[in-house]
Structure 1
Amino acid sequence: MQSSENTVKNWGFLIILALIWGSSFILIKRGLEVFSPGELGAYRIVAAATFLLPLSLPRVKRLNSEQVQNLILVGLVGSFIPAFLFAKAQTQLSSSLTGVLNALTPLFVVVVGAIFFKSRITRRNALGLFIAFLGVVVLVMVKEGSGFGGLSEINTYAFFVLLACICYGFNLNLIKFRFVELKPVEITAISLLMVLPVALIYLMAGTEFAFKLVSVDGAWLALGYVTLLGVLGTALALILFNMMVKVASPVFASSVTYLIPIVAIMWGVWDGEVLLLGHYLGIAAVIFGVWVGNRKK
């Protein structure tokens, strides 16, 4: 059993991470006012990895080939790919709803664990998945001005968020089962270092990022938002998150997503985003489904 000190520490991590990651979606929204999803995603990784270079470079030489391969995977599924997917999703989804859909991460932890890491899916897990799935269906069909509750055609951009949640499911299981010997700061810093070259090459050679900095009004302000997103929301938050994963279960660690929607919705409402009846129904179903699917008893 966990000590009371570890329990308090884990809940402290949970609250801090909810505040940081719940604010990430409004920062993405601000960054997208100037940068494309690809530019935002790539620079987010560059900012986070560069910030952690003093920690990653001295440690990378100590790794064996298997650790390097696993850290490349963690860098891809835990940071690189989701950074692009969330940015793409928010071109057509509000920041608050993106934060709500992100709450599906704990359920994908269970599914990925069962398929690839020999974990077990219980009936309660399956019931939670079904309830949350119904909530997602409602959320992706809600549109302002579409009749009762706002139900309309499917917004396919929600599937970018679902793919990101699947990536996080892989990431959590990889950290828990493949990195018993590495410290959280090493996992975070080196995994970001592994994907830094790809992000940097794409950003500078494949986008108009540098051109926008010198030619677009508000570009430097948007850069500040994305820098904050990368340094605080990716680098420092991942260190805290990986510390929590090492001393708690993957499902508990991913439960930070219960609180993220609350913070994301508060930011969204403050920024003038409108929530309809269908949104509230979908949000309730997603969070209730995640709660049911992760109950122990």
Structure 2
Amino acid sequence: MEDMASAQHAPGPFAVRDWFLLLASAAGWGTSFLFIKIGAEDFAPATVAWLRLLFGAAALALVPAARVPLRVPRDRWSVVLLGLVWMAVPFVLFPAAERTIPSALAGMINGSAPLFTVLIAMLVTRKSPGTHLSFGLAVGFLGVVAVNLPEITGGGSATGVLMVLGATALYGVAFNLTGPLQARNGALPVIWRAQLAALVLSTPAGLLGLGASTPTPTALAAVAVLGIISTGVAFACFATLVGRVGAARASLATYLVPVVAVLIGAVAGEPLRPLSLVGVVLVLAGAYLSARVPRRAEVTPAGVSPR
């Protein structure tokens, strides 16, 4: 499997395999919100996160490229930090939030991850945003407000919304951390080791949460699919796509995730509010505009990485 640093990216149209990898990644991540919600009905949030990581790391362990040693051994502690901010903490926040808010709403809010990524990169580099970037960020965060406003004003859980926003902001931090790590060591070795680190960090709380859980076959099946498909297969597909077409083009998968989440939520019978749908469009537009800042004024994250 090609890694991010060494692959020769094809400049032409996507091949059939590339489209399959793109859609598989988006589908795996977009459906994850519904599986989280189902799992959180019977398992404690920490246990949902722990089982997700357990199944996901086991699935990625079957991919030989993931087991390749890190080329830069000193990066191992950075990978542990990555596992904390990318997986261990957000994977708990999402099921905790989805006990009080719809899965589709969580997916919509998660669509703002590219905005947080660019904003955090801007803060780290201390570069002033140009007009183009400021406009993109403003449009995107207006969308975030529009997505959340119906839930909060309608008597929904502001705490649940804030937890998802916190998890999404942590994704922005993680995406800035993971770029250099993946460039030096390859995508899958970094992702798998980050999952292992997060699994170790979450094991005490996950085991403790079993005491507050009432496991059912449905919930166990949901977290198994969440781990194997959304946390294992989807990450492997995205890493392969990055190696084939480059990080910028592969990041299109990120923009499809909230669309999939909304559609799956609608099929599951969750309510769809018009203002929230308008907000999704604004979030995606803002993320797209922020990602297309002219190069001379560009403020970009260190890399693009999967959810």
- Among 64, 67, 75, the alignment partner of 1:67 is 75
Matched to 1:228, the amino acid is V
- Among 122, 131, 147, the alignment partner of 2:139 is 131
Counterpart-to-counterpart distance in 2, 1:57 and 1:291: 30
Matched to 1:262, the amino acid is V
Query: 2:194 is matched with which residue?
Result: 191
- Structure 1 residues 275, 3: CA separation in 2 closer, same or farther (over 3 Å shift)? same
Matched, 1:258 2:271: no
Counterpart-to-counterpart distance in 1, 2:168 and 2:246: 17
Matched, 1:284 2:281: yes
Counterpart-to-counterpart distance in 1, 2:197 and 2:258: 30
Count of aligned pairs = 285
Cα offset for 1:63?
6.0
Cα offset for 1:131?
1.5
Query: 1:180 is matched with which residue?
Result: 183
- Structure 1 residues 58, 269: CA separation in 2 closer, same or farther (over 3 Å shift)? closer
Cα offset for 1:82?
1.7
Matches within 5 A, 1:1-297: 2-4=9-11, 7-8=14-15, 11-53=19-61, 59=68, 65-116=73-124, 121-143=129-151, 155-204=158-207, 206-208=208-210, 212=213, 216=214, 219-245=216-242, 252-296=249-293
- Structure 1 residues 58, 233: CA separation in 2 closer, same or farther (over 3 Å shift)? closer
- Structure 1 residues 102, 7: CA separation in 2 closer, same or farther (over 3 Å shift)? same
Counterpart-to-counterpart distance in 1, 2:244 and 2:174: 16
Query: 2:5 is matched with which residue?
Result: none
Matched to 2:10, the amino acid is S
Q: For the Cα contact (< 8 Å) 1:139–1:279, is it kept in 2?
A: yes
Matched to 2:210, the amino acid is E
- Structure 1 residues 180, 168: CA separation in 2 closer, same or farther (over 3 Å shift)? same
Cα offset for 1:59?
4.2
Q: For the Cα contact (< 8 Å) 1:110–1:251, is it kept in 2?
A: no
- Structure 1 residues 100, 11: CA separation in 2 closer, same or farther (over 3 Å shift)? same
State the TM-score, normalizing by the size of structure 2: 0.80
Counterpart-to-counterpart distance in 2, 1:28 and 1:53: 22
- Structure 1 residues 153, 47: CA separation in 2 closer, same or farther (over 3 Å shift)? closer
Provide structure 1 residue ranges, at least 5 long, that are not aligned to the other structure: none
Cα offset for 1:154?
7.4
Worse-matched range after superposition: 78-87 or 281-290: 281-290
Q: Secondary structure at the match of 1:180?
A: helix
Q: For the Cα contact (< 8 Å) 1:139–1:282, is it kept in 2?
A: yes
What are the superposed Cα offsets for residues 181-235 of structure 1, whole Å, 9 maximum, x if unpaired?
A: 312221121111222222223222x2235x74xxx4x612211110110111012
Matched to 2:158, the amino acid is N
- Structure 1 residues 187, 243: CA separation in 2 closer, same or farther (over 3 Å shift)? farther
What are the superposed Cα offsets for residues 87-126 of structure 1, whole Å, 9 maximum, x if unpaired?
A: 1221222111111111111112212222235777442222
Provide structure 2 residue ranges, at least 5 long, that are not aligned to the other structure: 1-7, 295-307
Q: Secondary structure at the match of 2:272?
A: coil
Counterpart-to-counterpart distance in 1, 2:198 and 2:261: 27
Matched to 1:292, the amino acid is L
Q: For the Cα contact (< 8 Å) 2:37–2:103, is it kept in 1?
A: yes
Q: For the Cα contact (< 8 Å) 1:98–1:161, is it kept in 2?
A: yes
Q: C-alpha root-mean-square deviation of aligned residues, in Å?
A: 3.0
- Structure 1 residues 187, 86: CA separation in 2 closer, same or farther (over 3 Å shift)? same
Q: Secondary structure at the match of 2:158?
A: coil
State the TM-score, normalizing by the size of structure 1: 0.82
Q: For the Cα contact (< 8 Å) 2:136–2:289, is it kept in 1?
A: yes
